[in-house]
């Protein structure tokens, strides 16, 4: 499975972000992943996101679906989903399959309070089939909760995809890359982390193999990365390190 990581910053202009989708999504990859909140950036910390939320049948998802069909691929991208109350921080999947994942763990950490402006999603692990591979979804701060990754793997995930807007700051790149590797090693899965770039966010979009090898890693600026993922490598890793089978619960 070929995956393309689009490390690109979203702006405060939803129309501009939608217009860039066709340029950013390449032809023919199996999976193209854009960051969290690509439909519209968070704006000033704590600002009201309700006016910028869209329904799932709104213009952003329609454009994701159109571009995915035109490019013969499956696209993952983040948005704020309109509800009757506070919006969800949602990742949509459109293309060979259709799925919506609402971020479970809101970023109430490092001085931020995401829960003041967004609603937490239901505790329902999101997995979907893509060719011969099963893919699981997490969003940004979810990465710090190993139990969610484990539930995705229990649901069959061989690849865990993590769209993010990982806020920059001291130790933040180290936390991001360490946690991506940890989730891959402890679950013997590929982990695909796709972040927004600097200066506001940490960038360093990365693909980790199921034994912890760094397959590709970006820097802090806008960048597009590509990696090939093989489910047979996951199977071999689980024979080499059968930690999932060895669990005693």
Distance CA 64, CA 109 (A): 31
Q: What is the mean pLDDT of the chain?
A: 97
Task: Provide the pLDDT for residue 15.
Answer: 97
pLDDT, tens only, 78-122: 999 999 999 999 999 999 999 999 999 999 999 999 999 999 999
pLDDT of residue 69 exceeding 90, the answer is: yes
pTM: 0.97
Cα 21 from Cα 229, distance rounded (Å): 23
| Residue 249 pLDDT class (50, 70, 90 cuts) | confident
Q: What is the DSSP string of 63-79?
A: HHHHHHHHHTSEEEEEE
Residue of 63, 81, 103, 114 marked catalytic: 103
Domain definitions of the chain by residue range: 2-240
Report the alpha-carbon distance of residue 93 to residue 11 in Å, rounded: 21
pLDDT at 38 over 90: yes
8 is catalytic: no
Which residue in the list 8, 81, 140, 158 is annotated as catalytic?
Answer: 140
Q: Is the pLDDT of residue 61 over 90?
A: yes
Residue burial 13-24, b: 16+ Cβ < 10 Å; e: rest: ebeebbebbeeb
Has 36 been annotated as catalytic? yes
Q: What is the pLDDT of residues 202-236, one digit of tens each?
A: 999 999 999 999 999 999 999 999 999 999 999 99
Structure tokens belonging to residue 171 = 């130790």
At 14, is the secondary structure helix, strand, or coil?
helix
Q: Which of 55, 37, 58, 40 is nearest to 106 (CA)?
A: 37
Q: Is 140 a catalytic residue?
A: yes
CATH topology for 2-240 is Nitrilase/N-carbamoyl-D-aminoacid amidohydrolase (3.60.110)
Q: What is the DSSP string of 31-53?
A: EEE--TT-SS---STT---GGG-
Catalytic entry in 36, 63, 81, 114: 36
34-38, 43-47, 74-78, 118-122: least confident range: 43-47
């Amino acid at each position: 499975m070929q995956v393309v990581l689009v490390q690109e910053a979203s702006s405060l202009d939803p129309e501009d972000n939608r217009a860039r989708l066709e340029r950013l999504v390449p032809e023919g990859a199996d999976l193209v992943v854009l960051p969290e909140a690509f439909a519209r950036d968070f704006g000033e910390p704590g600002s009201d996101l309700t006016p910028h939320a869209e329904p799932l049948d709104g213009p952003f998802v329609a454009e994701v679906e159109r571009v995915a069909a035109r490019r013969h691929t499956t696209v993952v991208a983040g948005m704020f989903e309109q509800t009757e109350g506070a919006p969800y921080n949602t990742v949509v999947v459109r293309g060979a399959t259709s799925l919506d994942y609402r971020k479970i763990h809101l970023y109430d950490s490092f001085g931020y309070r995401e829960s003041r402006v967004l609603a937490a999603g239901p505790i329902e692990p999101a997995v979907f089939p893509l060719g011969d591979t099963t893919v699981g979804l997490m969003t940004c701060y979810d990465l710090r909760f190993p139990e969610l990754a484990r539930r995705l793997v229990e649901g069959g995930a061989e690849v865990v995809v993590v769209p993010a807007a990982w806020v920059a700051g001291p130790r933040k790149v180290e936390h991001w890359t360490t946690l991506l590797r940890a989730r891959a090693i402890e679950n013997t899965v590929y982990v695909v982390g796709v972040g927004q770039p600097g200066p506001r966010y940490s960038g360093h979009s990365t693909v980790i193999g199921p034994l912890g090898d760094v397959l590709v890693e970006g820097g802090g600026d806008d960048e597009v990365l590509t990696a090939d993922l093989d489910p047979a490598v996951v199977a071999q890793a689980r024979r080499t390190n059968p930690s999932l089978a060895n669990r005693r619960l």
